[in-house]
A and B are shown apart, each in its own frame.
Chain A
Amino acid sequence: MENDAQRTRAAALCESLFSWIEGKLVARTRSAHYARVVLESPALRASVGAGQFVLVRYGEDPCLPRAFSVMSQRPGALEFFVKSEGRVREKLWNAPIGTPFDVRGPYGVPYASRIPSDRTYLLVAGGSGVAPMLCFAEQCAHLTTGGVYGFRTADACDLLPNIPLVIEEVTGLQAADRLRAVWRPGLGILACGPEAMLRILANDYRGVPDVYVSLEARIGCGIGTCLGCRIETAAGPKRICVDGPLFPMEDLPWLT
């Protein structure tokens, strides 16, 4: 019986990697520039590890689907934190509750599988990079010693009311500035955000052990075949969709 259950589960997981699962928009809270969005699908049986992402498409739109990191999940539902720009994102932003969206995934390797578990990490995010970090903080609280989450504008506070944020338009500081004040040798760092933020971190923490960055790229297939997201690393060529999205900073010498 157990083997049957395992096989059924494996098949369900595999199905959602290669086939679209019908879902619909069931909840959304918006601020000026961001939204928390929940997509629900009874058929969505996959368990998502922090750092993994799914592809979302709107109807039969003949466009590339859009990748979103999962911020939180419950059975049959996934929550994302999305900016208000871009084709799929605009649909998520504007479509009436109940609008169908298809989902496939999850893709990528959970952060926890990529990092040593014998140390604790400061989580650093800029903008919608906050999504996988909050997911990690919830799933791997024992590996986490705090978070530095930066936003340019204060409206993000409305969506994340219980989480201290670094708001640039209020304090003049970015996440990287705050990180300098709280990081101590011995702490690892997990970072996700705009490339400009990651470059600052690379400048500040190059050579520091256990600094990891979560990379973004336009994802094509999600399953590792199209090579649209392939990058060069010190450990050889890697695909963000199947080998990432988290990489040791030391493996990304071009990130300067």
Chain B
Amino acid sequence: MADVTIQRLGRQLRSPVVLASGPSGFGLELIDGVDLRQVGALTTKTITPEPRAGNAQPRLVDCPAGALNSIGLDNPGLRAFQEQILPRLEELPTQVIVSVTGPSPEAAAGVAARLSEASSIDMIELNLSCPNVSEGLIGADADAVSAYVKAARAAFDGVLLAKLPGDAGDLLCGTEAALEAGADGVTLINSLRGMRIDWSSGRPFLKSIFGGLSGPAILPIALARVYDVRRAFPDAVIVGTGGVVELGSLVEMLMAGADLVGIGFGLMVDPQVACRLTGELRRWLDERDIQSVSEILGIAQEEVPHAL
């Protein structure tokens, strides 16, 4: 049987499929019905220093081949996370990445520092690209990326990922800044800024007007960003996220150069999608006599993909 485990970030992950930050919440609601042992890791909702209510309703609307959300970093804040959620994360039968941000490098690093005190947390994803809050698109500015990552790096010894935007700033500069400042990898891409209009009333559908587009609609953009970054940074760890909902798009993302593949929108549509994809990937590799998923990582960069 083909090996779908991934050796990256100083650990072995059971699958390249990881749950992206947002739609899987803190994972606790999934325990009763989703076999989280089948996923490589689960990324929590983004934690901020203080509680955030997020944006007003409506903050979710469907789109052709996707959805637009303006949830806006709704989260209970660091203290409630530490007291009420963190102790329960040990129940999750998968590795956990805690998503973190803050209004300044120091504030985000403060969250990372507190989390570093918890022995169960050894992976953090710095969310530098939320399209739904005024201070969210930190990742558009390479200097800001550098400042955030440096501050978090100083505060946290574990694995540090930087989640960058796919539609703001120069992603190659942002990636370089993140890696030089000490990030262990980058997550590409966040949802893309968009809007919908209720054409019966003429008003923007979302209360906050703009939201982040996710789902298969953004897959080609995410693939191109991952491909670009892999080409420029052959050794970087990349979590490719954006529009993967089925085996074909999962394999595309791995071939573009992602080491791990985040599932966000897909989980909203089908809570079982990540588990199913791990099984389908294993069967797909078996059918082609490919021993390990590692053999297909980044092969779209090769002139003649050797594994196929």
Contacts and interface: CB of A to CB of B under 8 A. Distances in A.
Interface of A: 14-15, 17-20, 57, 60, 62-65, 87, 217-221, 223-232, 237, 242
B271 A19 contact: yes
Contacts of B63: 63
20 contacts: A14-B33, A17-B32, A19-B272, A62-B215, A62-B216, A63-B215, A64-B62, A64-B269, A217-B60, A218-B61, A221-B268, A223-B30, A223-B33, A225-B30, A226-B25, A226-B69, A226-B71, A229-B60, A230-B71, A242-B29
Contacts of A62: 65-66, 215-216, 245, 269
Contacts of B256: none
Interface of B: 22-27, 29-30, 32-34, 45, 53-54, 57-67, 69, 71, 74, 215-216, 245-246, 267-272
A220 B60 contact: yes
Contacts of A60: 246
A26 to B, nearest CB: 23
Given A218-B61, A221-B267, A226 B23 contact: yes
Contacts of B23: 220-221, 225-226
A224 B54 contact: no
Contacts of A17: 32-33
Contacts of B59: 228
Given A14-B32, A228-B59, A20 B71 contact: no
B211 to A, nearest CB: 10
A20 B271 CA distance: 9
Contacts of B57: 217, 229, 231
Nearest to A229: B60
Given A15-B33, A18-B272, A218-B62, A224 B69 contact: no
A225 B30 CA distance: 8
